Amino acid sequence: MADMKSWQIGDVKVTRVLEQEAPLPPEGLIANIDADRLVEHESWLKPHFMNDEGQIVLSIHALVVESRGKTIVVDTCMGNDRPLPMDIEPLQTNFLSELETVVQREQVDYVLCTHLHFDHVGWNTMKVGGEFVPTFPNAKYLFGREEYEYWSGDAEDVNIDLQYGVTPVVEAGLHELVPSDHSITDEVSLEPTPGHTPGHVSVRIESAGKRAVITGDLVHHPVQLAEPTWGSHPDAQPERAAETRRDFVARYGDTDVLVIGTHFAGPTAGRIVKVGDSCRIECD
């Protein structure tokens, strides 16, 4: 079994289910990076978020959120068997069997996609008999209305992202378009965090006096919270994304809020501690 991490936020339980984790050159993900400035952050990035060779570590995982008797799967990774962009070979991982050690797929109540990029909608579906069908047959799939309308319009690259992980869900009548501040339960709600995509959302958890937030791709790597102007190459609106990261640090820095990174490796979660005009992530 892969390394399974979980956190208790009041009465809400969050469990990470890993699809894959890998190092890559910082410039392979982060735009307009300053190599000298990156070195200044190594003391807190290593060993979890950066390896000894100076590569950053990226994780692709789903998060299972249990609240008020409901089970919510947040972001469903890349999936098996499907064509992928950027010359990535189709995957064959044990993700689904790992997920089912936490919850059976028929018992999932909601699937929530923070946005509709390929690595967040992959396991929305699975290949059965030569076609892709919804993986979670009894779930309601929640797509942000603004996000869905953007990708369903004239945006480029729409087919590879939607064709396998979204269109079969829509055709099955299992989706629901929701506003960017939608509440799933009274403990779990969405928070607009646009920029990476126009309709991007994060997930806010508040229960029994405890708080957490699941980032989505407003930030791919913790160093981008310390350096909010360092965008990610896939950011659709770089300036807006940078402003969202600044606002996020201002809102959650030096608080008790547990930040659970959708692509953060290692401990995956920690708290933002402000340091001068920057910050760092401190993990429990």
**37-92 pLDDT per residue, tens:** 999 999 999 999 999 999 999 999 999 999 999 999 999 999 999 989 888 899 99
pLDDT number for residue 87 = 84
Mean pLDDT of 184-195: 98
pLDDT number for residue 86 = 82
Q: What are phi and psi of 67, to 5 degrees?
A: -145, 130
For residue 17, give the 3-state DSSP assignment: strand
Q: Which domains, from first to last, does the chain contain?
A: 5-282 (3.60.15.10)
Distance CA 228, CA 84 (A): 28
Q: Is the pLDDT of residue 2 over 80?
A: no
The model's pTM: 0.96
Q: Is the pLDDT of residue 234 over 80?
A: yes
pLDDT number for residue 72 = 98
Residue of 202, 226, 229 whose CA lies nearest to 216: 202
Q: Is the pLDDT of residue 1 over 70?
A: no
pLDDT number for residue 154 = 57
pLDDT number for residue 206 = 98
For residue 194, give the 3-state DSSP assignment: coil
202 DSSP β-pair partners: 191
pLDDT number for residue 161 = 72
Q: What percentage of the chain has pLDDT greater than the value 90?
A: 90
Residue for token pair 């060779």: 53
Question: Residue 29 corresponds to which tokens in the numbers above?
Answer: 């993900």
